[in-house]
Amino acid sequence: MELFDSLIIGAGPAGSSAAIFSAETGNRVLLLDKSRFPRDKVCGEFLSPAIWSFLKKLGLHSKILETGTRVDSATFVIGNEKSIRLRLPVLDPELPFGWGISRRSFDALLLSEARYRGVTVLENMEVTHYRKEKSFFTLQATEKTTGKLNEFRASRLIHAAGRESRWKHLKGTTHKTGFKAHFTGPALEHSVRLYFFKKGYVGLVEVENGETNVCGIASNECVSAVKGNFDELMKEIAEENGEFKAWLAAALRKSSWLTCSRFDYGFNQNTLPAVGDAASFVEPFLGQGITLALASAFQLCGRPHNLRNTSKIKQLYKQKARLRPLISLALNSAYSMPWLFRLHTRWPAVCQHFVRKACSL
């Protein structure tokens, strides 16, 4: 049985960041994930301006700037209404913008850095059981290719296995489907674009290699109506939105559609210390999922190292949870009551303030 100081389940942005921060303190860290990297995930693939302070703490901001695309505004389009474009807030004078980068590239960069910092990384490893024994945790994991069972022991165990993990106990599942694919298409002028339709919304952001991530959320009813054919769903959305129709007509899908169908809002009820979506899942519309993953990893594993104090992590997510009723109102009424979005012409400062609140931690 191998001994470590910290065991971390899940090698996404939260888990890899937690592993890097833990290794900085001299800990022997084991990071496990059921997938083999690089791999794709359903994600908006947008890094908010608040992320740069945490990427600097990880020493990764320069590498991230080598891959991806600058994003300095958000554009909202409801049906055939005139679009609304709002500047993203400047939270770091050195890096006054957000960023578009695929999860395939972003997660691989973090994982590579974790290995470089001395973290032991085991991919394709399914965690099946853990138990607490006095001052140690014993974890069992099966190699997915060989079926071999392995045991590891450490004084700390961190849950970073995401929103759909078996180790997460949450209430509040909603009946929605998330979807994502990469396209090549017309440039977006360094803006993340959000198109609303009757039963959801779809977002576009440019990432690396001249590709655009098309990611959205639709009601399960809407997905069933097209029998799970997301190309058909895109055509239906285009019929409701002339600007999106023009973009789609000039675009070409480059990857398969990926989907997810579980959205558990609220806080993790498991007693394990948790980071990222494993700690709490926030409204995807905010575009803060990856930033909160890194922020929670720093709060839990950055200096000073204190795994018992999770109150700051809960506070981080509570700040975003408070915006959810307002966001739900906006999303549910965007198509049926577009006049709500026209209010930006009368009170632009209010709209800009909301964007700042959404992008800040």
Rounded mean pLDDT of 133-150? 94
Per-residue DSSP letter, 110:
H
Could you give the C-alpha distances from 274 to 18, 114, 227, 270, in angstroms and in order?
10, 18, 36, 8
**pLDDT at residue 174 is higher than 90:** no
**pLDDT at residue 132 is higher than 70:** yes
Q: How confident is the model at residue 361 (pLDDT cuts 50, 70, 90)?
A: low
Rounded mean pLDDT of 116-134? 94
**pLDDT at residue 353 is higher than 80:** no
From the centroid of its chain, how far is CA 35? 17
Q: List the domains of the chain with CATH numbers.
A: 2-39+106-170+271-321 (3.50.50.60), 46-101+173-264+322-361 (3.30.9.100)
Q: What is the pLDDT of residue 11?
A: 97
Alpha-carbon distance 123 to 134, whole Å? 28
**48: amino acid identity, one letter:** S
Could you give the C-alpha distances from 90 to 97, 115, 124, 181, 356, in angstroms and in order?
7, 32, 39, 29, 9
Alpha-carbon distance 302 to 27, whole Å? 12
What are 255-307's pLDDT values in tens digits?
999 999 866 666 666 678 889 888 887 777 777 889 989 999 998 888 655 55
**pLDDT at residue 78 is higher than 90:** no
Q: What is the pLDDT of residue 348?
A: 66
Q: Kindly tell me the sign of the dihedral angle through the C-alpha atoms of 86, 41, 303, 129.
A: positive
CB 361 within 8 A of CB 316: yes
Rounded mean pLDDT of 173-195? 91
Q: Kindly tell me the sign of the dihedral angle through the C-alpha atoms of 312, 105, 185, 42.
A: negative
Q: What is the pLDDT of residue 112?
A: 97
User: Using alpha carbons only, how large is the chain's radius of gyration in Å?
Assistant: 20
Rounded mean pLDDT of 202-227? 95
Helix (H, G, I), strand (E, B) or coil at 218: strand
Alpha-carbon distance 223 to 30, whole Å? 39
Alpha-carbon distance 316 to 339, whole Å? 32
Q: Percentage of residues in the chain with pLDDT exceeding 70?
A: 78
C-alpha closest to that of 119 among 201, 190, 33:
33
Range with the poorest average pLDDT among 29-33, 119-123, 158-162: 158-162
Q: What is the pLDDT of residue 63?
A: 96
**290: amino acid identity, one letter:** I
What are 18-39's pLDDT values in tens digits?
999 999 989 999 999 999 999 9
Contacts of 252 (CB under 8 A, 6+ apart): 183, 184, 185
How many other CB atoms are there within 10 angstroms of residue 305's CB atom?
16
Contacts of 302 (CB under 8 A, 6+ apart): 21, 24, 57
Rounded mean pLDDT of 202-211? 97
Strands 263-264, 173-174: pairing kind: antiparallel
What are 216-238's pLDDT values in tens digits?
999 899 999 999 999 999 999 99
**pLDDT at residue 58 is higher than 80:** yes
Alpha-carbon distance 244 to 185, whole Å? 11
Per-residue DSSP letter, 213:
E
- Average predicted confidence (pLDDT) for the chain: 86
**pLDDT at residue 200 is higher than 80:** yes
Q: What is the pLDDT of residue 316?
A: 63
Record the pTM: 0.89
Give phi and psi for 130, each to the nearest 5.
Answer: -145, 155
What are 85-118's pLDDT values in tens digits?
889 989 999 999 999 999 999 999 999 999 999 9
**pLDDT at residue 351 is higher than 60:** yes
Alpha-carbon distance 59 to 224, whole Å? 44
Q: What is the pLDDT of residue 322?
A: 57
C-alpha closest to that of 299 among 286, 285, 314, 288:
314
Rounded mean pLDDT of 140-145? 95
The span from the first CA to the last CA of the chain, in angstroms, equals 41
